[in-house]
């Protein structure tokens, strides 16, 4: 028998096996998860969670699919962590130093506390990529924030109210459109699709029986 621990989910006490994640504990307790449970592997950012351990004054944040339950853990979930998302037309923007000041001026109020970096479940150097955004170095900001899953935990810890994931998304879009070299193989493939060269292959796949499609999927080639 697994060791059982007490976990308080939305204020109600449950006994669950000690090795479960918060998400697993919720399902063990009978919760049917239909939202905030995307990839279950730490890559979609949908399960950002707030918790506290009895006797510890610190309020902690984490992804529920990554975090193992502890005895006397008090857990609360939110439908999303709020982020400020500005609307813009990427085709009308330019990768200059003014764009961040116009759309996300709060990044210049950063006090360097590094709470964002400490909170990041992906262990990204969040404060550093915000510093690159401040300087207009969108290439470095894009590279450093590449693995961001947009969970919003970093922003929930920020005293300056910075929406770090949205800042990083803008930097990656600017980098992809204006700075990074064009991907020739992608351009070529898009033209092949527009010219109808892929239509026959797609039609052949659509006409395959479901079992054959499953077999092709299960034995597909996966890049390392």
Question: What is the pLDDT at residue 200?
Answer: 86
187 lies in some domain: no
Question: What is the pLDDT at residue 92?
Answer: 94
Tell me the per-residue pLDDT of 55-90, one tens digit each, with 9 for 90 and over: 998 899 999 999 999 999 999 887 778 788 999 999
Domain check: are 65 and 120 in the same one? no
Tell me the per-residue pLDDT of 22-54, one tens digit each, with 9 for 90 and over: 999 999 999 888 887 888 888 888 899 999 999
Domain check: are 154 and 209 in the same one? no
Domain check: are 21 and 51 in the same one? yes
Domain check: are 102 and 49 in the same one? no
Tell me the per-residue pLDDT of 129-182, one tens digit each, with 9 for 90 and over: 999 999 999 999 999 999 999 999 999 999 999 999 999 999 999 999 999 998
169-198 mean pLDDT:
92
Question: What is the pLDDT at residue 1?
Answer: 63
8 lies in some domain: yes
Domain check: are 162 and 199 in the same one? no
Q: Quickly count: other Cβ atoms within 10 Å of residue 38's Cβ.
A: 14
Domain check: are 173 and 198 in the same one? no
Q: Helix, strand, or coil here: 85?
A: coil
Q: How would residue 8 be classed by pLDDT, with cut points 50, 70 and 90? A: very high
111 lies in some domain: yes
Range of the domain at 43: 4-77
Q: Helix, strand, or coil here: 51?
A: strand
Domain check: are 115 and 69 in the same one? no
Residue where a domain terminates, one of 43, 77, 111:
77
Total domain count, the chain: 3
58 lies in some domain: yes
Q: Are 66 and 21 in contact (CB under 8 A)?
A: yes
Domain check: are 44 and 103 in the same one? no
Question: What is the pLDDT at residue 7?
Answer: 95
Q: Are 121 and 151 in contact (CB under 8 A)?
A: yes
91-99 contacts: CB < 8 A, separation 24 or more?
Answer: 91/177, 93/174, 94/178, 95/136, 95/138, 95/174, 95/175, 95/178, 95/179, 96/136, 97/135, 97/136, 99/136, 99/170, 99/174
Domain check: are 95 and 61 in the same one? no
212 lies in some domain: yes
84-103 mean pLDDT:
93
Q: How would residue 183 be classed by pLDDT, with cut points 50, 70 and 90? A: confident
Query: Does pLDDT of 219 surpass 80?
Result: yes
12 lies in some domain: yes
Residue where a domain terminates, one of 21, 48, 77:
77
83 lies in some domain: no
Domain check: are 101 and 139 in the same one? yes
Question: What is the pLDDT at residue 36?
Answer: 77
What rounded mean pLDDT belongs to the chain?
92
Q: Which of the given ranges, 77-86, 105-114, 186-195, has the highest pLDDT on average? A: 105-114
The first and second tokens of residue 88, run together, are 């813009």
Domain check: are 44 and 106 in the same one? no
184 lies in some domain: no
8-30 mean pLDDT:
93
Residue where a domain terminates, one of 52, 77, 102:
77
* CATH number assigned to the domain comprising residue 59: 3.10.20.740
pTM comes to 0.77
């Amino acid at each position: 028998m697994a060791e059982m621990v007490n976990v308080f989910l939305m204020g109600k006490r449950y006994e669950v096996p000690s090795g479960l994640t918060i998400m697993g504990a919720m399902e063990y307790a009978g919760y049917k998860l239909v939202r905030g449970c995307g990839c279950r592997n730490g890559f979609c950012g949908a399960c950002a969670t707030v918790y506290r351990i009895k006797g510890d004054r610190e309020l902690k944040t984490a992804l529920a699919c990554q975090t193992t339950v502890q005895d006397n853990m008090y857990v609360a979930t939110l439908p999303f962590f709020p982020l400020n998302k500005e609307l813009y037309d990427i085709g009308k923007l330019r990768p200059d130093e003014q764009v961040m000041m116009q759309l996300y001026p709060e990044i210049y109020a950063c006090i360097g506390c590094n709470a964002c970096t400490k909170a990041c479940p992906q262990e990204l150097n969040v404060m550093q990529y915000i510093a690159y955004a401040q300087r207009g170095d969108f290439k470095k900001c894009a590279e450093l924030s590449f693995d961001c899953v947009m969970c919003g935990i970093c922003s929930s810890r920020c005293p300056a109210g910075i929406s770090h994931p949205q800042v990083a998304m803008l930097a990656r879009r600017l980098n992809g459109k204006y700075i990074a070299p064009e991907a020739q193989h992608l351009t070529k493939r898009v033209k092949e699709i527009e010219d109808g060269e892929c239509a026959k292959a797609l039609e052949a796949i659509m006409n395959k029986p479901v079992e054959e499609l499953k077999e092709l999927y299960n034995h597909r080639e996966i890049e390392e």
